[in-house]
Amino acid sequence: MKTKTILAWFAINQIKRKGKKMPKKVLKRLKHFLKSLELEKKSYTAICREIGISYYCGVDSSTKLQKGALLEYKTLGLYLAPATLSGINLCPFACVGCILACLGGSGHNLIEKRSGKNLIDISRIKKAWIAMLLPEVAEKLICHEIERERLKRDMAIVSQRIRWNLAVRLNCTSDLDFSHIMRKYPDLQFYDYTKDQWRTKRPNYHITYSYATMSPARIEWYRNKLANGMNLAIPVIAGDVKRVLQDIPFAFSMDTTDLRFLDGREASFGILKAKETLHTLEGVEEGFILDYEGVKELIRVLKDCNGFKSQIKNNKKLKHFSNV
Q: For the chain, what are the domain ranges?
A: 1-196, 211-324
Q: Would you state the torsion angle of the CA atoms of residues 260, 69, 98, 94, taken in this order, to the nearest 10 degrees?
A: -50
- The SS3 assignment for 176 reads coil
The DSSP bridge partners found for residue 167 are 75, 189
Contact 78, 57 (CB under 8 A): yes
User: DSSP letter string over 44-88?
Assistant: HHHHHHHHT-S-SSEET-SHHHHGGGGGTEEEEE-----TTTTSS
Q: From residue 218, give the alpha-carbon distance in Å to each of 95, 209, 254.
A: 10, 11, 21
For the chain, first and last CA: distance in Å?
A: 63
**DSSP label of 34:** H
**DSSP label of 25:** H
- Give the global pTM: 0.93
Q: What is the CA radius of gyration of the chain?
A: 21
Going residue by residue through the chain (324 aa), what tens digit of pLDDT does each one get? 688 899 999 999 999 998 899 999 999 999 999 999 999 999 999 999 999 999 999 999 999 999 999 999 999 999 999 999 999 999 999 999 999 888 777 777 767 777 778 889 999 999 999 999 999 999 999 999 999 999 998 887 777 667 789 999 999 999 999 999 999 999 999 999 999 999 999 999 999 999 999 999 999 999 999 999 999 999 999 999 999 999 999 999 999 999 999 999 889 999 999 988 888 899 999 999 999 999 999 999 998 876 677 777 777 777 788 777
